[in-house]
Structure 1
Amino acid sequence: MGALRIQADFAGGNWGGLFSFQAVAQASLQSGLLALWAGSATVGAKRSSDELAQAAAESTGTLRIAASDDYGTSAMVPVVAAFSARYPACRVELTLGDETIDLASGGMDVAIRVGWLADSSLQARRIGTFRQFMVCGAEFAGRFTAGEPQDLAGLPFVANMALREPLLWQFSRGDDEHGAAVRMQATIAIDATPAVLAAVRAGAGLSVLPDFLVRDELAAGRLVHILPEWQLPSGGIYTVYPAARFRPPKVTRFVEMEME
Structure 2
Amino acid sequence: MAHDLNRLALFAAVAETGSFTAAAERIGKPKSQVSQQVGRLEAELGVRLFTRTTRKVSLTEAGSALFDECAPLLNEMQAALARLDAERREPSGLLRLTVSAEYAATVLAPLIVSFVERYPKMEIDVVTASEQVDLVDARIDLAIRMGWLKDSSLRAVSLGDFGQWVVAAPAYLQRHGVPQRPAELVSHRWVALSLLRLPLQWTFTNPDGGTETVRVKAALRINSTAGLQGLVAAGAGMSTLPDFMVAEQVRTGLLVRVLAGFALPRAGIYAVYPDGRHVPVKVRAFIDHVRDALVASG
Structure 1 and Structure 2 fold alike (TM over 0.5): yes
**Which amino acid in 2 is paired with 1:83?**
F
**2:187 alignment partner, SS class:** coil
Picking from 126, 136, 139, the partner of 1:107 is 139
**TM-score, structure 1 as length reference:** 0.75
Distance 1:256 1:151, change over 3 A: same
* Higher RCO structure, 1 or 2 (CA under 8 Å, sep 6+): 1
**2:150 alignment partner, SS class:** coil
**TM-score, structure 2 as length reference:** 0.66
**Which amino acid in 1 is paired with 2:96?**
R
The alignment status of 1:238 with 2:270, answered yes or no, reads yes
Instruction: Report the equivalent of 1:159.
Output: 192
Picking from 159, 162, 174, the partner of 1:130 is 162
Distance 1:193 1:51, change over 3 A: closer
Instruction: Report the equivalent of 2:256.
Output: 224
Superposition RMSD in Å: 1.7
For structure 1, the 5+ residue unaligned runs are: 1-49
**1:105 alignment partner, SS class:** coil
**2:127 alignment partner, SS class:** strand
Range 136-145 or range 232-241, more displaced: 136-145
The alignment status of 1:185 with 2:217, answered yes or no, reads yes
1:63 and 1:176 mapped to 2: Cα distance?
Answer: 44
Distance 1:51 1:237, change over 3 A: closer
The alignment status of 1:79 with 2:111, answered yes or no, reads yes
2:194 and 2:117 mapped to 1: Cα distance?
Answer: 36
2:159 and 2:86 mapped to 1: Cα distance?
Answer: 27
1:132 and 1:233 mapped to 2: Cα distance?
Answer: 7
Distance 1:83 1:146, change over 3 A: same
1:117 and 1:138 mapped to 2: Cα distance?
Answer: 34
1:132 and 1:256 mapped to 2: Cα distance?
Answer: 25
Contact 2:86 2:281 in 1 (8 A): no
Instruction: Report the equivalent of 2:89.
Output: 54
1:52 and 1:99 mapped to 2: Cα distance?
Answer: 33
2:107 and 2:280 mapped to 1: Cα distance?
Answer: 23
Q: How many residues align structurally? A: 207
**Which amino acid in 1 is paired with 2:240?**
V
**1:104 alignment partner, SS class:** coil
For structure 2, the 5+ residue unaligned runs are: 1-84, 293-298
Contact 2:87 2:281 in 1 (8 A): no
Cα deviation for residue 129 of structure 1 reads 0.8
Contact 2:178 2:258 in 1 (8 A): no
What CA deviation, in whole Å up to 9, does each residue of 1:219-241 have, x standing for no partner? Answer: 11111111111111111111111
Instruction: Report the equivalent of 2:183.
Output: 150
Instruction: Report the equivalent of 1:252.
Output: 284
Question: Which one has a bigger Cα radius of gyration?
Answer: 1
Cα deviation for residue 141 of structure 1 reads 1.6
Picking from 203, 206, 214, the partner of 2:246 is 214
